[in-house]
Structures are given as structure tokens and as C-alpha cells.
Structure 1
């Protein structure tokens, strides 16, 4: 991972801590979507259509992984869950281990 990746990731975590403090828990997408500014560049924490996100400024790994909450009466699109030990279990998109998204996650 490059120093720029480290700096971007550290700034993202600091931004997320501010969001959690400001919202007192669950942060709405409208607050996450704009991202934050670092060294004059806009860094996004995620994107609407994709669950796995790596900003263009980063070279390795991912910055954001999100899930969707199924609407009432609908089946969940992904098999994401909170595990018994309290960790988030992300069900990767598809089953191809060579897919772009899975390669990004594994390179973290």
C-alpha cells in the first residue's frame, strides 16, 4: 500500500468518526455520499450502485464496503449479516474469485 493510500484511509476513518459523533449512531447515506476533501481532492466513501468501493486516489485495497437493507416484503439481495461474535460478515458479489471486486478486497 502506498503512503497516499495510508493517508487517504486514515482521513476516511477520521471523517467517519466525525459522522458517527454528529449523528450519534446510524449515519444516513445523504451524509456519507458527498465524501470528504483531502489535499484539495474529493474522496468518496462509497458509490450508489456498487457495494465495494475504491476511490480513484487509492491504488490498492478498498475503502468502503456497504450492504443494502431489504425493503419490507423483499428478499435480501446479498447474504450479509452480523456474525455471532459481533463482526460484519460481507457476502461477496458473485462467486468468481478472480472478479475485480473480490481481487480488490483480497488485496487489502
Structure 2
């Protein structure tokens, strides 16, 4: 029995699309550019979801495609700061 990473082709398609976008727009991509998504097997998939920090496209079974966080509002602790200090 082999252990195949079934999500690998989707991640490769996403990384190839991101490389193309960086060549077009530079290293800092606006949300409008990211929100256009990428094409995988003739279907448009999202790179990320603006409302969710950990994003799993419905096509992926084993791994998340993207993880993001936000800058905390003034006077609030960064959401994941306590984990960095504990590690």
C-alpha cells in the first residue's frame, strides 16, 4: 500500500498560479488579485477565504491550502502570540 498525497496536484496548480501572479503584479498581491483564484481541472478554486483563517477547498481532503492571520486591533493581543511564546 502506498501513501499518496491526493492534494498535491491542487497545491502545485495553486503555486504555479501564484508565481504567474507575482510576475504580473509583484510580490505583494492585493486581495482583489488573490480573490480571483486559480484554475484546476477547468474549475476556478480560491486561494483563500477572506473570513476563514484556515482554508480547505472542498476538493482537498488531507491538507489546508492556505493559512492567514490578521493584525490585531489596537489594545488587543495578537491571536497566535501566546502559542509563539509557549513554543
The bucket for the TM-score relative to the shorter chain is 0.7 to 0.9
**Aligned mates of 2:29, 2:80 — CA distance in 1:** 22
Residue ranges of structure 2 left out of the alignment (5+ in a row): none
Deviation, structure 1 residue 23: 1.8
Higher Cα radius of gyration: 2
CA gap 1:46/1:74 in 2 versus in 1, 3 angstroms: farther
Match of 1:17 in 2: 19
TM-score computed with the length of structure 1 as normaliser: 0.62
**Secondary structure of residue in 2 paired with 1:69:** coil
Match of 1:6 in 2: 8
- Taking the TM superposition and a 5 Å limit, the aligned residue runs for 1:47-66 are 47-66=49-68
Q: Is the 8 A contact 2:13 2:39 kept in 1?
A: no
- Number of equivalences: 78
Deviation, structure 1 residue 15: 0.8
Residue ranges of structure 1 left out of the alignment (5+ in a row): 81-90, 92-108
Q: Is the 8 A contact 1:69 1:76 kept in 2?
A: no
